[in-house]
């Protein structure tokens, strides 16, 4: 079965410190990987995606993510967290074989403490 | 970037009534739109895939007759919750793909909070 796992319901980090939000996946075929952010009562906003090429992908608002094929992971990172980064983050995979649909993780709530 | 407009943002209705939610792509043509349902502190659950000019493809367990989806043009898809009940209360989000590649990034509407009394 195809799935996306975000093992942490919540991540707390102090402002100015680096942050990591974890994501692992299990899909057949070559996965296309995405990170989205959701603010309260809003839709999701695209942060970044990995399709092919360099394993380190840079996205919006200073976020980046590293694709690791052997570990089937796509962790979201930022060198220095801001209070305004506090939100709900979703990892998503688009499967290129089988279902051809987007699969979302359960989300990780990031709380950046001043 | 591409903009998806979803309306209304919030609706409160009585049990038994029907509610229509609109999703518009404002500056691009969206051949495919998706409708999601999100429960508090949970992930997005795909309800259906809406293709312009054809019937929507519903996910397993989603009632077609209850959640009517119409994608009559390349810029508009609607979700109608028919005979709404309190258990239908949820946050509904639409999204659209800009481009023809299935792996293109999704653009999301701002969501509709439905409360059924």
CB atoms within 10 A of CB A45: 17
- Per CB distance under 8 Å, which residues of B are interface residues toward A? 4, 6, 9, 34, 41-44, 46, 49, 91, 93, 95, 102-103, 105-111, 113
Chain B residues in contact with A37 by the CB 8 A cut-off are none
Rounded CA separation B74/A77 (Å): 36
pLDDT value at A112 more than 80: yes
Chain A residues in contact with B113 by the CB 8 A cut-off are 41
CB contact under 8 A, B93 and A107: no
pLDDT value at B100 more than 60: no
Q: Strand pairing of A108-113 and A102-104?
A: unpaired
Rounded CA separation B63/B1 (Å): 34
Using CB atoms, which residue from B46, B105, B109 is nearest to A43? Answer: B109
CB atoms within 10 A of CB A56: 11
Mean pLDDT over A22-28 rounds to 91
Separation in Å, CA B26 to CA B23, B29, B70, B109: 9, 8, 17, 11
pLDDT of residue A110: 97
Question: Which of B38, B51, B59, B106 is the mutation pick for testing A, counting most A CBs within 10 A?
Answer: B106
Q: Which two tokens stand for residue A16?
A: 């100015």
> Nearest Cα to A108, choosing from A25, A38, A3, A34?
A38
Question: Which of A37, A44, A50, A105 is the mutation pick for testing B, counting most B CBs within 10 A?
Answer: A44
Separation in Å, CA B57 to CA A58, B4, B6, B43, B78: 34, 21, 20, 20, 14
In this prediction, residue A73 has a pLDDT band, given cuts at 50, 70 and 90, of very high
Place of tokens 């690791």: A68
CB contact under 8 A, B108 and A44: yes
Write the pLDDT tens digit of every residue in B5-32: 999 999 999 999 999 999 999 988 888 8
Cβ of residue A25 closer than 8 Å to a chain B Cβ = no
Chain A residues in contact with B108 by the CB 8 A cut-off are 36, 43-45
Range name among A20-34, A57-71, B102-116 with the lowest pLDDT average: B102-116
Using CB atoms, which residue from B6, B46, B102 is nearest to A43? Answer: B6
Identify whether the C-beta of residue B33 lies closer than 8 Å to the C-beta of residue B26. no
CB atoms within 10 A of CB B26: 11
CB contact under 8 A, A100 and B102: yes
Q: What is the mean pLDDT of chain B?
A: 89
CB contact under 8 A, B103 and A104: no
Rounded CA separation A83/A80 (Å): 10
Write the pLDDT tens digit of every residue in B47-56: 999 888 888 9
Burial class (CB in 10 A: 0-12, 13-18, 19+), B77: buried
Q: Which two tokens stand for residue B7?
A: 């309306």
Chain A residues in contact with B41 by the CB 8 A cut-off are 107
Mean pLDDT over A58-72 rounds to 94
In this prediction, residue B106 has a pLDDT band, given cuts at 50, 70 and 90, of confident
pLDDT of residue B10: 95
Beta bridge partners of B48: B35, B58
């Amino acid at each position: 079965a195809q799935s996306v796992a975000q093992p942490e319901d919540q991540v707390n980090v102090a402002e100015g410190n680096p942050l990591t939000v974890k994501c692992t996946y299990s899909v057949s075929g070559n996965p296309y990987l995405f990170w989205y952010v959701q603010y309260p009562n809003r839709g999701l906003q695209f942060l970044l995606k990995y399709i092919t090429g360099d394993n380190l992908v840079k996205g919006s608002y200073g976020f980046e993510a590293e694709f690791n094929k052997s570990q089937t992971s796509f962790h979201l990172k930022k060198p220095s967290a801001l209070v305004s980064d506090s939100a709900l983050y979703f990892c998503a995979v688009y499967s290129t074989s089988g279902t051809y649909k987007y699969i979302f993780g359960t989300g990780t709530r990031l709380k950046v403490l001043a | 970037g591409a903009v998806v407009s979803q309306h209304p943002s919030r609706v409160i209705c009585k049990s038994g009534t029907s509610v229509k939610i609109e999703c518009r792509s404002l500056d691009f043509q969206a051949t495919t739109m998706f409708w999601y349902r999100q429960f508090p502190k949970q992930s997005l659950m795909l309800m259906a895939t809406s293709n312009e000019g054809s019937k929507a493809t519903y996910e397993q367990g989603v009632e077609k007759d209850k959640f009517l989806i119409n994608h009559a043009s390349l810029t508009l898809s609607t979700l109608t919750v028919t005979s709404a009940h309190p258990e239908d209360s949820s946050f509904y989000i639409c999204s659209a793909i800009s481009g023809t590649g299935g792996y293109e990034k999704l653009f999301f509407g701002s969501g509709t909070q439905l409360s059924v009394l």
